[in-house]
């Protein structure tokens, strides 16, 4: 197998010149570059990527942590962020943390040991203190992890307002509201607070069902809906994330109720699955591509030495009216 000395000999240049060319660490004339490239092709020489990364003290890899990659929101986010990172010259290492209890901590340890250059995290299983002790490039998706870690999220307060007003306009008087677990400090709580505030202001009753912490799988959503239905609660409106809204709508239809005549639905996230059911779901749409783009942009800036303090990137949501509401 050819080595750097073989390339230098074939090209008729010094080993130091080849090293500078491979590591982009100094001047190499165009003539020498051409000779080195020709020699590499002739000898079928492949540069040692690990050695080059060690020289630059970078791996070119960014870890992306999500709780459940089968969840449509995170599946779309991962797909988008991988493209953004690739275009910025980085490879993505994906961590699906829900299946392994200590996975999040292990990936933070990899960041500490320079195995990855940065972390984009959308998971909620570790305490904030674990992140605060690591002074390395980290971007948080929809979670507060301290003033030194920038956050990318949407305007959840606006999302909660749009959902509430839509159900009120549709004449709902008793609404089933699936809310995220309050154990974690996250911007997403703002949608629930705003939704409840508006309902109370309009004297509309809500039945709040708090979901278990860090459970985002389809099986759990089915169990949650069955639990609600077993209580024989009467409701004429539903607000919840896409999968929950769909599971609940399917169960309502199985019980011979009409949608939207008897029960109206507003989903949150607005992923592709809201258009794959019948009737199609009215939804508050998060700009997942935009969240991925901003997350990638911020992590790249952090890796290149940018320092942020109290940095929050907030994107707008959009209401898509479809067939699970009347007006």
- Domain identity same for 193 and 280: yes
Triad 213, 264, 327: Cα angle to 5°: 130
**Residue 293 DSSP SS3:** helix
- Domain identity same for 171 and 272: yes
Alpha-carbon distance values, 236 to 193, 278, 319 (Å)? 20, 18, 20
Quick one: pLDDT band at residue 311, thresholds 50, 70, 90?
confident
Q: Does residue 79 lie in a domain region?
A: yes
- Domain identity same for 242 and 309: no
Rounded Cα distance between 244 and 284, Å, is 14
| Full strand arrangement of the beta sheet holding 174-179 | 205-210, 174-179, 237-241, 264-269, 282-285, 318-320
Q: Does residue 306 lie in a domain region?
A: yes
- Domain identity same for 181 and 296: no
- Domain identity same for 183 and 220: yes
Total number of domains in the chain:
3
Between 49 and 288, residue with greater pLDDT: 288
Q: Does residue 321 lie in a domain region?
A: no
CATH number for position 88? 3.40.50.2300
- Domain identity same for 44 and 65: no
pLDDT tens-digit readout, 81-92: 999 999 999 999
Q: What percent of the chain has pLDDT over 90?
A: 56
Among 20, 35, 56, where does a domain finish? 56
pLDDT tens-digit readout, 100-158: 666 777 877 777 776 788 999 998 777 788 887 777 899 999 988 888 889 999 999 99
Closest to 65 (Cα-Cα) out of 84, 47, 80, 78: 78
- Domain identity same for 194 and 245: yes
What confidence score (pLDDT) does residue 199 get?
Answer: 98
- Domain identity same for 161 and 233: yes
Triad 97, 98, 101: Cα angle to 5°: 75
Quick one: pLDDT band at residue 285, thresholds 50, 70, 90?
very high
Closest to 272 (Cα-Cα) out of 280, 264, 263: 280
Rounded Cα distance between 129 and 126, Å, is 8
Q: Does residue 266 lie in a domain region?
A: yes
Closest to 172 (Cα-Cα) out of 273, 275, 259, 245: 259
pLDDT tens-digit readout, 63-77: 899 988 999 999 999
Q: Does residue 237 lie in a domain region?
A: yes
């Amino acid at each position: 197998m050819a080595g750097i000395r073989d390339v230098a000999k074939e090209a008729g240049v010094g080993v130091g010149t080849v090293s500078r060319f491979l590591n982009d660490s100094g001047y190499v004339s165009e003539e020498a570059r051409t000779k080195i490239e020709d020699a590499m092709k002739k000898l079928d020489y492949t540069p040692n990527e690990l050695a080059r990364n060690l020289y630059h003290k970078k791996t070119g890899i960014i870890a992306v942590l999500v709780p459940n990659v089968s969840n449509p929101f995170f599946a779309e986010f991962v797909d988008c962020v991988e493209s953004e990172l690739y275009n910025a010259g980085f490879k993505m290492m994906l961590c699906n943390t829900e299946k392994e209890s200590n996975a999040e901590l292990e990936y933070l340890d990899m960041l500490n040991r320079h195995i990855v250059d940065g972390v984009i995290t959308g998971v909620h299983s570790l305490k904030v203190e674990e992140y605060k002790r690591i002074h390395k490039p980290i971007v948080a998706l929809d979670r507060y992890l301290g003033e030194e870690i920038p956050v990318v999220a949407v305007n959840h307060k606006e999302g909660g307002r749009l959902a509430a007003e839509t159900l009120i306009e549709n004449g709902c008087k008793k609404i089933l509201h699936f809310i995220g677990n309050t154990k974690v400090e996250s911007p997403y709580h703002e949608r629930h607070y705003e939704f409840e505030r508006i309902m109370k202001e309009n004297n509309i009753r809500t039945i709040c069902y708090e979901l278990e912490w860090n459970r985002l799988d389809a099986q759990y959503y089915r169990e949650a809906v069955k639990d609600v239905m077993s209580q024989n609660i009467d409701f004429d409106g539903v607000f919840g994330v896409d999968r929950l809204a769909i599971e609940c709508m399917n169960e309502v239809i199985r019980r011979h109720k009409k949608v939207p005549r008897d029960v109206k639905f507003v989903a949150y996230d607005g992923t592709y699955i809201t258009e794959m059911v019948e009737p199609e779901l009215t939804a508050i749409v998060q700009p997942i591509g935009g969240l991925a783009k901003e997350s990638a942009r911020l992590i790249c800036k952090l890796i290149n030495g940018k320092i942020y303090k109290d940095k929050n990137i907030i994107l707008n949501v959009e209401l898509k009216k479809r067939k699970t509401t009347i007006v």
